[in-house]
Structure 1
């Protein structure tokens, strides 16, 4: 007995819908397999006006993605629309009610903050400044006569573990590469507020300075590129490239030698148990010929035993250091943390102009009405201190150190410190 014509048509309609859906999914997968090679350009074009940056996302967490990209993200993560920060809220550490951070660490000393307002007439011509910084990066990355390790590799060649400094905020379409010792604590706080990735009694933090320092640096608090593989598998690189093309990418840098001095001050002049055990003890044994070394940093400091700046420089120059493990992030070169020749940054801020740069960036992101960047320190490590710090460092060591960090000097427009490198 033949089925009624109406039932046959219904079945054919359902079958065509299923076949059509499967075809669309296969078509999208083929598109994705091609998007990372022939049809996708990693770098954001410099021909577009840089003043037009991604705006604040619409309520509900809809990202600045095309319809196809939105469908792909939905396909890859069924709960994306319910959990806009890609699952981070399920990973966050428990946070107790808190006010501003307790002032115990020198780096958190609120008395060092500059709370004064800024006269708009004193703000630098940021658009020209940013264009110059981007041009410097672009020119030296394209200059075949200027080379440094990893310069020529492609984005796809960067291991996932080297992408752990790229923090993603899908709510506002922002990617921040953090560089330790360059106001990264407060920029991480800003990213937490924007992405709403951390709660205080069920409510997202609204003031960056309310976020306790111990949670700011907890890796589970931030969604970084190196976590994409765990969530998206083989699609992770494709998603990274889409976000790199469409999101606003920024980083902050500072004079490389001054950054080293700042790292030494905070990690070896203050009582830091982790850095004492991991780095200070080996330095004292290798470069100061100490044989009987206290087991704790408190005992060492009470005995007047400290790592010297000279010990630290020898450690950096010692070829055995890199053979054992990559540089710690606090003194690892910026080009190794943020890959500026593989990722074309839209905004390059500098610690030397932090207040102006931060205010301008928040305006460009159209989030200046939501928050303000925490005021900077008055007592930051000053560039003028370099000669004093390097006074006891042999000239040959200084020149070797410059070669080690030369790419950071050149790429980010810092002049060669001739006063330190000439006899």
Structure 2
């Protein structure tokens, strides 16, 4: 894995970089093979990880002095996104895919279109727009298709008019954190038939950890845990199998809950008015309400809580081989580049976590 930590014009620094990479790779391998057995057993057996919710943080603390810094952040996000799309020849007057149209939730009261990307805070965001539309303040209602209006329900003329005139809103998330959240939610947290559907439907993901690449039993694949469902036996889907399956980018293993954003919302074909990040969703809502002219409804903006994916993504990915993480980085490269995230920053965070844990052990 290439680490951009030194300038290429220095032979001495290049040598130091290669030496550091070798050292870090060794640390990773040692950590992979000698990880804490208790923690591994927790993940393999499918038991929940003990995560504590963070306390609500005041808006002024989250983003410096308030709305001014939020507006600067939003301007930066839009510039990065627009430069990405222009640099690749995309135009906002090009047709939006049918897949994207089916993902747009319509709020006619405030004339807003929201393209929902799973595992980016969609449950929270759907409740916000539902409450805006109906003048309510619910957070517990299960919002299905009968509660929300989708752009695909309208005629072609009505769809075009809304895409041209409505405020367009999207929420995106760091790709590695989103993947960690998807695995935690669909293969660990949810209960009942839905959890077993995911485990049963994606049993073939286990193929990715039964070949020569996994003979040394990396990460969570060292145990064979079985779950009984109906008249058969289902095996747990380890995080390693999940990541490798996604990296192979086969249709049978793709799902909107972890599919790249560029495949879901035709982002470069849409003239977005606001790009929110899951990592800053609460403060983004405050600024968005102000820009959209939504007054007196701040009470429906949720409190800031710790995201499960933010805690697990370091713990999970530091146990994944570097070559598999690299392949994930390539698959989600467009999401990284167009929405202002950095794959290199994610790698640096993983390296720091590994070094810290080895120093403490």
Please say whether Structure 1 and Structure 2 have the same fold, judged by a TM-score greater than 0.5: yes
**Aligned equivalent of 1:296, options 192, 211, 229:** 229
Unaligned 5+ segments in structure 2 are 1-47, 212-222, 352-361
- Which of 258, 265, 281 is residue 338 of structure 1 equivalent to? 265
Counting matched residue pairs gives: 283
User: What is aligned with 2:304?
Assistant: 376
- Give the C-alpha shift of residue 225 in structure 1: 1.9
CA RMSD of aligned residues (A): 3.4
Aligned to 1:276: 199
Deviation per residue, 1:174-207 (Å, 9 max, x gap):
11111211111011011111222xxxxxxx6x11
1:105-184 alignment, distance < 5 Å? 112=53, 114-115=55-56, 117-119=58-60, 122-123=65-66, 125-144=69-88, 155-156=94-95, 158=97, 160-184=98-122
- The alignment partner of 1:179 has SS state of coil
Correspondences of 1:211-226 after superposition (within 5 Å)? 211-212=140-141, 215-216=142-143, 218-226=144-152
1:175 partner SS: strand
Per-residue displacement from partner, 1:93-146 (whole Å, max 9, x unpaired)? xxxxxxxxxxxxx9xx9x8364454348642522222121111111110113xx
For 1:394, the equivalent position in structure 2 comes to 321
Residues 175-214 of structure 1: pairs in structure 2 closer than 5 A: 175-196=113-134, 206-209=136-139, 211-212=140-141
Q: TM-score, normalised by structure 1?
A: 0.59
Measured in 1, the distance between the counterparts of 2:118 and 2:274 equals: 17
Separation (CA, whole Å) in 1 of partners of 2:242 and 2:57: 36
1:249 counterpart (160, 168, 178): 168
Higher RCO by CA contacts (8 Å cutoff, separation 6 or greater): 2
Is 1:285–1:291's contact at 8 Å kept on the other side of the alignment? Answer: no
- CA separation of 1:248 and 1:299: change in aligned 2, threshold 3 A: same
In structure 1, distance between residues paired with 2:59 and 2:345: 33
**1:292, distance to aligned residue in structure 2 (A):** 10
| Alpha-carbon distance in 2 for matches of 1:378, 1:292 | 29
Measured after TM superposition, the shift of residue 161 of structure 1 is 3.6
Give per-residue Cα distances to partners, 1:301-342, cap 9 Å, x unaligned. Answer: 9xxx521111001211234x31x47x2111011112222100
Take 2:109 and 2:343, find their aligned partners in 1: how far apart are those partners? 40
Distance 1:113 1:180 in 2: 22
Cα distance per residue 1:234-279 (max 9 Å; x no partner): xx1x322221221111111111111101111111122412212222
The answer to whether the 8 Å contact 1:409/1:416 transfers is yes
SS of residue matched to 2:109? coil
1:316 corresponds to which residue? 246
Residue 350 of structure 1 deviates from its aligned partner by: 0.9
| Rounded Cα–Cα distance in structure 1 between residues aligned with 2:81 and 2:345 | 22
CA distance in 2, matches of 1:293, 1:306: 6
Separation in 1, partners of 2:58, 2:340: 28
Kept in 2: contact 1:269–1:306 (CA 8 A) = no
Measured after TM superposition, the shift of residue 386 of structure 1 is 4.0
Q: Is the 8 A contact 2:57 2:304 kept in 1?
A: no
CA distance in 1, matches of 2:96, 2:151: 14
Instruction: For 1:386 and 1:115, locate their aligned partners in 2 and report how far apart those are by CA, in whole Å.
Output: 22
CA separation of 1:137 and 1:318: change in aligned 2, threshold 3 A: same
Instruction: Decide whether aligned partners of structure 1 residues 332 and 153 sit closer, same or farther in structure 2, where only a CA change above 3 A counts.
Output: farther
Once the two structures are TM-superposed, the CA of residue 300 in structure 1 deviates from its matched residue by: 6.8
Q: Distance in 2 between matches of 1:416 and 1:176?
A: 26
TM-score (norm 2): 0.68
Give the gaps of 5 or more residues in structure 1.
1-105, 197-203
Residues of 2 paired with 1:297 and 1:142: CA distance? 52
Match of 2:219 in 1: none
